């Protein structure tokens, strides 16, 4: 089993920045991909970004490209999401997730952290 705990959410004004962290514990050996997703009120959960096991390959949703940066520190089993130039439409609950290489779906999810961007 893997446990994921997010932190770093909060209230920020439009144009501001926040950094989310997600610490993984438990069965974290092996190669795995970590991702960030978000769910805005009344909307379905959507993909934000992911990063492969060695941090070399990253993928972003078009809506956050150029503003968000995903990174990871394998020594700490932690993934980060640096969010800059935040917009009110970034308001959502942000979730980190983990899947092992070869898996189609993310198997493990954090509890989520709220971000509110005020205009």
Helix, strand, coil percentages for the chain (3-state, nearest 5) = 5, 55, 45
Asked if residues 4 and 70 have their Cβ atoms less than 8 Å apart, the reply is: no
Helix (H, G, I), strand (E, B) or coil at 88: helix
Q: What are phi and psi of 90, to 5 degrees?
A: -85, -5
Whole-number Å distance between alpha carbons of 10 and 113: 8
| pLDDT of 102 | 86
Asked if residues 4 and 96 have their Cβ atoms less than 8 Å apart, the reply is: yes
- Report the chain (119 residues): mean pLDDT per 10 consecutive residues: 93 97 83 94 96 89 98 91 98 96 91 96
| pLDDT of 29 | 65
| pLDDT of 114 | 97
Strand partners of residue 114: 93
Whole-number Å distance between alpha carbons of 85 and 33: 26
| pLDDT of 59 | 97
| pLDDT of 117 | 97
| pLDDT of 119 | 92
């Amino acid at each position: 089993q893997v446990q994921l705990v997010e932190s770093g959410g909060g209230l920020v004004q439009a144009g501001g920045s926040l950094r989310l962290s997600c610490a993984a514990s438990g069965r974290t050996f092996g190669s795995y991909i970590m991702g960030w997703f978000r769910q805005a009120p009344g909307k379905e959960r959507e993909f934000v970004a992911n990063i492969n096991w060695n941090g070399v390959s990253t993928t972003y949703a078009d809506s956050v490209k150029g503003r968000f940066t995903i990174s990871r520190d394998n020594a700490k089993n932690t993934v980060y999401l640096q969010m800059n130039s935040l917009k009110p439409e970034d308001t959502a609950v942000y979730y980190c997730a983990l899947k092992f290489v070869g898996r189609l779906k993310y198997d493990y999810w954090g509890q989520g952290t709220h971000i509110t961007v005020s205009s």
